[in-house]
Amino acid sequence: MAGFKFQSTKLNFPIVDENDNVIKGYSVDVGNESFLRGVMKKGREVVAEIDSAENDIDRSKNQIKDFVDTVLGVGEFEFLYERFGQNLFAMVELVHALSREIEGVWKKRTSIYD
């Protein structure tokens, strides 16, 4: 039968520790326009700050916090930052992982128009 079947754009994103034990699982609706606009804006800000020659750790941390809280929910940066032993590099890697996953879903879903 011809027509259209809606497909969910929710991305399941579990966060695990070094022993592959789940710390917390997240479900993110990457197709929501407001969400996408916020993530794209915050993502650009984080990359610009980290790549800056005048990188300021406090400012970078705040940019990462804004990104993580935008993607995973308010307060999730603090929760994960504590769980990772206040490891700022782990949070940078989390931002990269989230960005790659969201970009992957975007490319997969829009590739049908190629």
What is residue 5's three-state secondary structure? Answer: coil
What's the whole-model pTM score?
0.82
What's the pLDDT tens digit per position in 57-83?
888 899 899 999 999 999 999 999 999
Give the burial class of 91: count Cβ atoms within 10 A of its Cβ; 0-12 exposed, 13-18 middle, 19 or more buried. buried
Res. 86: pLDDT tops 70: yes
The number of domains in the chain is: 1
% of the chain exceeding 90 in pLDDT: 42
Average predicted confidence (pLDDT) for the chain: 86
Residue 20, φ and ψ in degrees, nearest 5? 65, 20
24 or 107: which carries more pLDDT confidence? 24
The residue to which tokens 């406090």 are assigned: 58
Structural domain that includes position 71 = 10-15+23-113
